[in-house]
Amino acid sequence: MKQYKIAVAGTGYVGLVAGVCFAQKGHKVICVDVDQNKVKLMKSGKCPIYEENLEELMVKNYNEGRIDYTTDYKSAYKDADAIFIGVGTPEQEDGSANLSYVATVSRQIAESIKKDCLVVVKSTVPVGTNDKVEQFIKDSLVNNVKIEVASNPEFLAQGHAVRDTLQAKRIIIGTKTKEAEKMLREIYEPFNLPIVSVSRRSAEMIKYASNDFLALKISYMNDIANLCELVGANIEDVAKGMSYDPRIGSSFLHAGIGYGGSCFPKDTKALKYLAKQHGYKLRTIEAAVDVNEDQKTKLFKKASERLITFNGLKVAVLGLTFKAGTDDLREAPSINNIELLLKNGANIYAYDPVGIDNFKKKYPNQITYVENPNDALKDANVCFVFTEWEEIKKIEPKMYKELMKTPLVYDGRNIYEIDEMKDNNIEYYSIGR
């Protein structure tokens, strides 16, 4: 195997996971971030994000000398064989992607590199961005070197990002020349995974098309779940019957209170914006976005119909992150519901095994945070379940009856069996059942 010297710009979910996994496969990696405190934290062996197995691999590869962290981008980029850009591309008000961080890194690369280099955009960017990045770097080059830009989108799920990188179903590479393709193939050779080589623009589109298709599946199932409630069907039975059809598959058929996180909400809006810029209306994607937005507060609306007021009531909130296995709160349904509950005078007691510190940044004083579910449930008038953490799934139905003042439970993840909750004399509402 050929060992490459790789620099990675950005140490969020995309950049840090990529860097650590490249090191794990034998490459020499330097990760760059603007935050000195974050760099010190990573050098000390601590992971800045909650991600299964990531910290363990960080420590292992750092101790074995294959990975390091720095704020000095000039030294990191100057003699790198390949530089992977993994910075954020946050959503702007109009739904478009903010490419300012990508532009900043591109300028730094142009000013720093002193040898021929392959620049690889791993961030999720609109179709055509790689072309612009390449031209921007070439226009800004300080030294007489050759650069080329390639697209290499990630397909990791938060909570399983390391697994999804080391055991990916496929690696997508988008290149313009055979030389760039050859280098990327060699970088990924030790992963021993299928590689799909396409044009840069096709690679960029594959990322959006894949994420948005999964978002479509989720919104479709939530739409069907809402109809199931009206006609007396059970969405879980429906999903089970659908899952046996190989044309449909069993993944992403679980109904709930909508998708969140760093990818699906942003990527659906970005593709919708891209289509609009080209005079085209992506009706399926627009429908998925609308369904998801309505779905997030479905349980609050149900509870509002049941209760005359939330004012002065103790409300237990179980789960704050957008899904289990991550401390990420981006587009989490809990936020939409908690905003409404606070506006209506609720006294909220919230539990989450890893998300509380991040949630405190948004709501430092308005919520009472507790260290275990029982403290949230004790004497509560109503309970909302927003995240399917194992710690929450392990709560026995009888505990709601024993601890709550009024055993009224709104479950956005369909954790419990309806009959079991009924047998424990709990008034129970879920999705599509």
**How many contiguous H segments (helices) and E segments (strands) does the chain have?**
19, 14
> What's the whole-number mean pLDDT along residues 73-99?
95
Residue 158, pLDDT above cutoff 90: no
Distances (CA, A) of 236 to 24, 131, 232, 243, 297: 40, 45, 12, 10, 20
Residue matched to tokens 């679980």: 254
**What average pLDDT does the chain have?**
96
The mean pLDDT value for 152-179 works out to 95
Query: For 36-51, b where at least 16 C-beta lie within 10 A, e where not — what string?
Result: eebbeebeeeebbbbb
Q: Burial level of 234, CB count in 10 A (0-12/13-18/19+)?
A: middle
Nearest to 134 by CA among 123, 120, 154: 120
Average pLDDT over residues 203-220: 97
Q: Where are the alpha helices (DSSP H) in 25-53?
A: 36-43
Residue 314 binned pLDDT confidence (cut-offs 50, 70, 90): very high
Single out the catalytic residue among 31, 228, 263, 383: 263
Catalytic annotation present for 263: yes
Asked if residue 316 has pLDDT above 90, the reply is yes
CA dist 352 and 373 (Å) reads: 8
Burial code (b: 16+ CB inside 10 Å, e: under 16) for 102-141 equals: beebbebbbbbbeeebbbbbbbbbbbebbebbbebbeeee
Cα diameter, the chain: 76
Element (H, E) at 390: helix 390-393
Task: Report the pLDDT value the prediction gives residue 259, as an integer from 0 to 100.
Answer: 94
pLDDT in tens, 239-262: 999 999 999 999 999 999 999 988
Q: Tell me, what's the pLDDT at 262? A: 84
pLDDT given for residue 89 in this prediction: 94
Alpha helices in 168-263 (DSSP H): 178-188, 200-231, 235-243
308 CB burial (10 A radius; 0-12, 13-18, 19+): exposed
Q: Indicate if the pLDDT at residue 1 is higher than 90.
A: no
Domains and CATH numbers, the chain: 5-198 (3.40.50.720), 207-295 (1.10.1040.10), 297-429 (3.40.50.720)
- What's the pLDDT band for 9 if we cut at 50, 70, 90? very high
